[in-house]
Amino acid sequence: MRRIYLDNNATTPVLPEVLEAMRPYFGEHFGNASSIHHHGQETRAAVERARDLVASLLGCRPAEIVFTSGGTESDNLAIAGLTSAGDHVITSCIEHHAVLNACKHLEDKGCEVTYVPVDGRGLVDPGDVRRALRPKTRLISIMMANNETGVLQPAEEIGKIAGEADVHFHIDGVQAAGKVAIDVKRIGCQALSISGHKMHAPQGVGALYVRAGTQLQPLFYGGRHERSRRAGTENVPGIVALGKAAELAMHGFERGDDKKISALRDRLQQGILAQIEAAGVNGDGAPRVPNTSNIYFDHVEGESMVISLDLKGMAVSTGAACSSGAIEPSHVLIAMGLRRDRARASIRFSLGKQNTADDIDLALALVPETIMRLRELSPGYTKTAVSS
């Protein structure tokens, strides 16, 4: 069976160039980057080259990059590392659970947290962030791009508000890195999280930008790795891969890969909407990353849709998987004001650099056929005339 993978916001395949770049660091270049001998020097140099590349991607200095195990660790390091008991924190209700649950934990530890809402398009209103400020506000943590809808938040405006209030600003940039250009100086943030496997590097590596001069409490205690900001022997192959993925992302922006992906995404989205009635884009009208389209199909159970498509070889997703793997209605779509049944009827399509026009053609054949069949089995559905 030919398989099409359109779930790149969950994870991306490691690109061949990235795999090639990291491969020697499992074998011949195996040294511990902290060792003083030749082997250590080799891997230290590789780690620092990777740091340069990641810093270029984000527009910062290499010393401002801390390598971590991934997006969740980066988010936790920023949130726990920039606050202490008694502080007030502002975040949004559409954040990833890595941020939401880190904030919930802060509440248990004696912090207060304000969760600002979003509008029907999935956008945070910077005015809400400004109005939530209190004398004790220490940190604002807002994502750059939402993982489910791809909606880009007004990061620069929020950065300005944070700067004027002299409050730390952390951005969860996991779903933005590699998809849109990021410049931490323009945003004016103190911290920004990225994850390797969302940008064609492997799972298990990520980074946190921390602006020079920012006091950050570490999560782990151990050796003085990463300038004492993240103890633990470096994941050298992963870090090398992240550096390579950052380099490829920058080349991609120069070549216009993002425009190519958005053209494919738009063709998919328009093709689906042209063929299927009672469907629409969640987050329509808001700026979005080029690869994501979250579409509701009324009278369809998203779960059955995802399973049906998977059995035909097409990978997409719906909602958020809970620990058993069952699907819960998306907190993001609910926060946008979608009815629960519409939230459950929503499917996320997310493209990656490996996707081709053929993938989209096949998707445009499979999706309408599957939706039609599911609707025929749905008691609430009656076909209405579609104006052509």
Partner 1 sequence: MPKLETIAVAMSGGVDSSTVAAMLRAEGHNVIGLTMQLWNQRRLAGHEGMPETVTGRCCSLDDVYDARRVAEHIGIPYYVVNHEERFERDVVRPFVAEYLSGRTPIPCSLCNNHLKFDQLLVVAQQIGADCVATGHYARVEFDDARGRWMLKRPTDRSKDQTYFLFGLTQEQLSRTLFPLGEMTKPEVRELARKQGLALAEKPDSQEICFVPGGDYKRFIDAYLAERGEALPDTAGELVTASGEVIGGHSGIHNFTVGQRKGLGVATGSPLYVIQINGADKQVIVGDSEHLYSRTLRARRVNLIAIDDLREPMRVSVKIRHRHEPAAAVLEKTGGDEVLVTFDEPQRAITPGQAAVFYDADMVVGGAWIV
Say whether residue 325 binds partner 1 (CB under 8 A).
yes
Closest C-alpha among 243, 306, 260 to residue 45:
243
Which amino acid, one-letter code, is at 387?
S
> In this structure, what is the dihedral angle of CA atoms 113, 58, 55, 259, given to the nearest 10 degrees?
140
Q: Report how far residue 202's alpha carbon sits from residue 13's, in angstroms, rounded to the nearest whole number.
A: 8
Binding of partner 1 by 1 (CB under 8 A)? no
Tell me how far, at minimum, the Cβ of 321 lies from partner 1, in Å. Answer: 8
| 311 interacts with partner 1 by CB under 8 A | yes
Does residue 3 interact with partner 1 by CB under 8 A?
no
- Strand segments, DSSP code E, in 248-325 are 279-281, 292-297, 314-315, 320-321
Q: How far apart are CA 117 and CA 188, in angstroms?
A: 22
Candidate segments 7-15, 49-57, 164-172, 326-334, binder of partner 1 by CB under 8 A: 326-334
Interacting span for partner 1 (CB under 8 A) from 111-119, 186-194, 209-217, 306-314: 306-314
Judged by CB under 8 A, the residue of 301, 338, 345, 348 near partner 1 is 301
Question: Which parts of 124-153 interact with partner 1 (CB under 8 A)?
Answer: none
Q: Which is nearer to partner 1, 27 or 325 (CB)?
A: 325
- Distance between CA atoms of 70 and 201, rounded to whole angstroms? 11
Minimal distance, residue 229 CB to partner 1, in Å: 34
Interface residue with partner 1, options 94, 102, 208, 374 (CB under 8 A): 374
Question: In the bound complex, what is the minimum distance in angstroms from residue 328's beta carbon to partner 1?
Answer: 6
380 binds partner 1 (CB under 8 A): no
Phi, psi of 65 (to 5 degrees): -100, 130
Judged by CB under 8 A, the residue of 45, 63, 274, 377 near partner 1 is 377
**Whats the size of the chain, residue-wise?**
388
Q: SS3 of 51, please?
A: helix
Give the bridge partners for 210, in sequence order: 191
Give, in degrees to the nearest 5, the angle at Cα 198 between 193 and 199. 95
> Is residue 361 near partner 1 by the rule CB under 8 A?
no
Q: How far is the CB of 346 from partner 1 (least distance, A)?
A: 14
Candidates 45, 63, 274, 307; binder of partner 1 (CB under 8 A) is: 307
Q: What are phi and psi of 210, to 5 degrees?
A: -130, 115
Supply the minimum distance, in Å, between the C-beta of residue 118 and partner 1. 24
How far is the C-alpha of 347 from the C-alpha of 345, rounded, in Å? 7
Alpha-carbon torsion angle 15, 16, 20, 23, nearest 10? 70
Give 321's strand partners. 327
- Contact region for partner 1 (CB under 8 A) — 135-143, 184-192, 369-377, 380-388? 369-377
Does the annotation count 322 as an active-site position? yes
From the list 149, 204, 207, the residue with the least C-alpha distance to 174 is: 207
Q: What is the 3-state secondary structure (H, E, C) of 182-207?
A: CCHHHHCCCEEEEEHHHCCCCCCCEE
Q: Is residue 308 at the binding interface for partner 1, with CB under 8 A as the rule?
A: yes
What whole-number distance in Å separates Cα of residue 172 and Cα of residue 77?
11
Stretches 14-22, 173-181, 217-225, 303-311: which one binds partner 1 (CB under 8 A)? 303-311
Report the distance separating Cα 321 and Cα 329, nearest Å: 9
Total chain residues near partner 1 (CB under 8 A)? 17
From the list 60, 103, 189, 322, the catalytic residue is: 322
Q: Which of 215, 324, 382, 387 binds partner 1 (CB under 8 A)?
A: 324
Nearer residue to partner 1 within complex by CB, 36 or 326:
326
For residue 19, the minimal CB distance to partner 1 (Å) is: 25
Binding site for partner 1 (CB under 8 A): 301, 303-304, 307-308, 310-311, 322-328, 373-374, 377
Question: Would you please indicate which residues are annotated as catalytic (active-site) residues?
Answer: 322
